[in-house]
Amino acid sequence: MGVTAWSFHASFSTMLDHSSKTVAPANDPLSEMLRGLRLDGVEYGRCQMAQPWAIALPAQKAARFYFIGKRGCWLLTPAKEWIALREGDALLFPRGAEHVLASAPDVEAFPLGSCEVQKVCGNIFDLKGGGDGEATLLFSGSMTFNVDSAHPLLRMMPELMRMCDLATSESGIPHLLEAMAREVAMDRVGAGGILARLADVLAASIIRSWVESGCGDATGWIAAARCPDVGKVLAAIHLDPERDWTVASLARLMGASRSAFAERFASVVGETPARYVAQMRMHQARQWLAGDKLKISVVARRLGYESEASFSRAFKRVIGTAPSHVRADSAHGQNGATRPSAGN
């Protein structure tokens, strides 16, 4: 595919960001649902693994993705099933589930840290390992989202998103990789910003291709992203989580009765509208507390609670811990957004 290098600065802007809010989303629920999803940090690696080879990747908080650049390999999925990967395929583990990549299923796996790792710059690494046979070229990345793995959007995603022959379905992918390599090689002014935006496109392309490819079953995240009526409701909730959404207002948005809407929503999403809204509101509150460092009283007012105490009770019921603990952990740099390392 003509891609000989891939390394770039590890800082993302918004993935699919817009400057204004609206409660009447456009006819693209996927884009609307992803508006608030940001990639705060990322490590990238260019891996050349010579046969025979096998690397075991433990579970981590950061998401992982791979693009098979040259010569296929095998994947042991989180469900402990071996599947063959071909050149041009891509993988995304939204919640960083454990897995194994190998030249063949019968090769003994070793930790990624056993590979020869050369730091190119920043969070960019060149990795080599395996035997003395033909090499597989992998482009890999560990991405830290601005939300934790318990956030409704990430929780609804499957453990593994596999896109078969992404280079064909998304013909711009090889050009993206080549453009990134050129930016690094030339080291021109403004390269960091350009690379961040190219990376945004790459990440969004992987998710979009997975949704459109028909992978997965007809329930959960993929069904919600594809379903026009439920999709626009989810898009509205994600776009404005601080709004006091009711079942009646969401039913009007879908153009259905309250009972019909509630039944349809639960069958597609897997939980009631009220519970989903509560989760989105409290995860937004967590972001305000941990990321924006807002006071608990300010967050409570933003979400329409009459008292800090009533908000705290609702927050603990959904998140599992008191908002004061989230504030304290954030102050000590323990908000859960740990940066991955090449040895993970």
What three-state secondary structure class fits 280? Answer: helix
Q: Can you give the length of the chain in residues? A: 344
Task: Identify the helix (H) or strand (E) that includes residue 262.
Answer: helix 258-269
Q: What pLDDT was estimated at residue 239?
A: 80
From the list 38, 271, 326, 313, the residue with the least C-alpha distance to 155 is: 271
Q: How many CB atoms lie within 10 A of CB 228?
A: 9
Per-residue pLDDT in tens (0 to 9) along the chain, 344 residues: 333 333 333 333 333 343 334 444 445 666 666 655 665 556 667 788 999 999 999 998 888 888 888 889 999 999 999 999 998 888 888 888 999 999 999 999 998 878 887 766 556 667 888 898 999 988 887 777 666 666 666 776 778 888 776 666 677 777 776 776 666 556 566 655 666 566 667 766 766 666 666 555 545 666 666 777 888 888 888 888 888 899 999 999 999 999 999 999 998 888 899 999 999 899 889 989 988 889 999 999 999 999 999 999 999 999 999 999 987 765 555 444 333 333 33
Q: Where are the beta strands (DSSP E) in the chain?
A: 39-50, 54-57, 63-70, 73-76, 82-85, 90-93, 99-102, 110-111, 116-121, 124-130, 135-145, 161-163
**Other CB atoms closer than 10 Å to residue 103's CB: what's the count?**
22
Q: Please report the pLDDT score of residue 221 as a whole number.
A: 60
Residue type, 336: G
Helices (H), 4-142: 29-33
Pair of tokens at residue 40: 């705060």
Residue with tokens 């509208």: 273
DSSP state of 134: P
At residue 81, the pLDDT reads 95
pLDDT value of position 269: 84
Residue 11: what are its φ and ψ, rounded to 5°? -145, 125
Reported as a single tens digit per residue, the pLDDT across 96-130 is 899 999 999 999 999 887 888 776 655 666 788 88
Paired with 188 in beta bridges are none
Dump pLDDT digits (tens) for 125-165. 678 888 989 999 888 877 776 666 666 667 767 788 887 76
Residue 307, helix vs strand vs coil: coil
The Cα–Cα gap between 141 and 123 comes to: 10
Tokens (6 digits) for 44: 């990238």
Model pTM above 0.85: no
- What is the structure's pLDDT at 267? 87
Question: Where do the domains of the chain lie, and which CATH numbers do they carry?
Answer: 29-217 (2.60.120.280), 241-331 (1.10.10.60)
Q: Give the CA count within 13 Å in the CB-facing half-sphere of 224.
A: 28
DSSP 314-337: HHHHHHSS-HHHHHHHHHTT-SS-
| pLDDT value for 220 | 60
Burial 6-44 (b: 16+ CB within 10 A, else e): bbbbbbbebbbeeeeeeeebeeebbbbbbbbbbbbbbbb
Q: CA-CA distances (angstroms) from residue 83 to 24, 77, 78, 162, 212?
A: 41, 8, 11, 10, 21
